Structure 1
Amino acid sequence: MSSYEPRPSGCTLFEEELINAMNNFAHSTDAPAFDTAGMVHRTRRRRATLIAGFAAALVVAGGGTALASMAGASQTSATPAATATVDHSRATFLLGGVTKEPIAVDLTGQVLDTAKAQFLKAGLKLGRVVKVSSPGCKPTSVIELTPHSPKVVTEGDTVNVTLCAG
């Protein structure tokens, strides 16, 4: 039999060798092994690390912004010196009887309507409203309450308000 004669299988010698080589290759290679549990673990770990990195970056950016605003406020202070003498405790009332500890409500710098709304919410009565001339405060803003902290007021008590006249 010569190489030019047809084979009993109907294939040429080249075709038979090619088929045999492909069969040997297909039957000899190992199937790939995937470690799915390890892949899931790595993916979750990377995702958690990425989220933690973004959270840390946001905290640092937020902290940097807060520090910059505090530094900027201390360098460019446009508030008058008289405002620095405002005593927040004199415009704060302690609301008792709602929780175990009294709740502090600071009305410093608020307008009278806001103070009235807070009194209504707390069940307090608005007493005398007096305007006092005080430099460095916003006109018609609350500068003092009577009684103020550390005295505790309860529902039904009367609170007097002192406003800034300008």
Structure 2
Amino acid sequence: MNNFAHSTDTPTFETAAMVHRTRRRRATLIAGFAAALIVAGGGTALASMTGASQTSAKPAATVDHSKATFLLGGVTKEPIAVDLTGQDLGTAKGQLVKAKLKLGTVVKVNTPNCKPATVVELTPHTPKIVAKGDTVNVKLCAG
């Protein structure tokens, strides 16, 4: 039995090569995940800025959407239209913060067929393009 146990040579391992290969694979995997997260995160941020995930009800047709929409410039080649029609003040503030804009004056106005305390008009609005740091004034429905 001793002859059998001592007859084979012990295997040799190139530990330096194994460690190098493992580190290279790990670095590639981490870079791939990071790139995927950046792409997914950028798409999510852009979708939320354009209002794709809005869930609140829109007001009746008497509210002019073009007056409650601003064009955000400097993010992509073409300006991005952000429609805040029918959003409450908290949501509108959040969208302005995401767009790196400042909230100006907030005024309540009487507008027919609109939900109270929702956005009916922004200044400046389309077709004017706003850039980061600009001030946007908001008019809310008085009800």
Q: TM-score range by the shorter chain?
A: 0.5 to 0.7
Map Cα deviations across residues 16-57 of structure 1 (whole Å, 9 max, x no partner).
xxxxxxxxxxxxxxxxxxxxxxxxxxxxxxxxxxxxxxxxxx
**Equivalent residue number for residue 151 of structure 1:** 128
Q: Measure the CA separation in 2 of the matches of 1:84 and 1:106.
A: 14
Question: SS state of the match for residue 110, structure 1?
Answer: coil
| Structure 1 unaligned spans of 5+ | 1-79
CA deviation after TM superposition for structure 1 residue 134, in Å: 1.5
Is contact 2:68–2:121 with CA below 8 Å preserved after alignment? yes
CA deviation after TM superposition for structure 1 residue 85, in Å: 2.0
Question: SS state of the match for residue 86, structure 1?
Answer: coil
Give runs of aligned pairs for residues 132-147 of structure 1, distance below 5 A.
132-147=109-124
Give runs of aligned pairs for residues 30-109 of structure 1, distance below 5 A.
83-109=60-86
**Equivalent residue number for residue 120 of structure 1:** 97
Report the structure, 1 or 2, having the larger helix content: 1
Which AA in structure 1 matches 2:102? Answer: K
Question: SS state of the match for residue 85, structure 1?
Answer: coil
TM-score normalised according to structure 2 size? 0.58
- Runs of 4 or more consecutive aligned structure 1 residues displaced over 3 Å after TM superposition: none
What's the Cα RMSD here?
Answer: 1.6
Q: Measure the CA separation in 2 of the matches of 1:122 and 1:88.
A: 19
Q: Measure the CA separation in 2 of the matches of 1:84 and 1:115.
A: 20
TM-score normalised according to structure 1 size? 0.50
Structure possessing the higher radius of gyration over alpha carbons? 1
% identical equivalent positions: 76
Q: Choose between structure 1 and 2 for higher RCO, CA contacts under 8 A separated by at least 6 residues.
A: 2
| Structure 2 unaligned spans of 5+ | 1-58
Map Cα deviations across residues 94-129 of structure 1 (whole Å, 9 max, x no partner).
000011000000000000000000010000000000
Q: Measure the CA separation in 1 of the matches of 2:111 and 2:127.
A: 23
CA deviation after TM superposition for structure 1 residue 86, in Å: 1.4
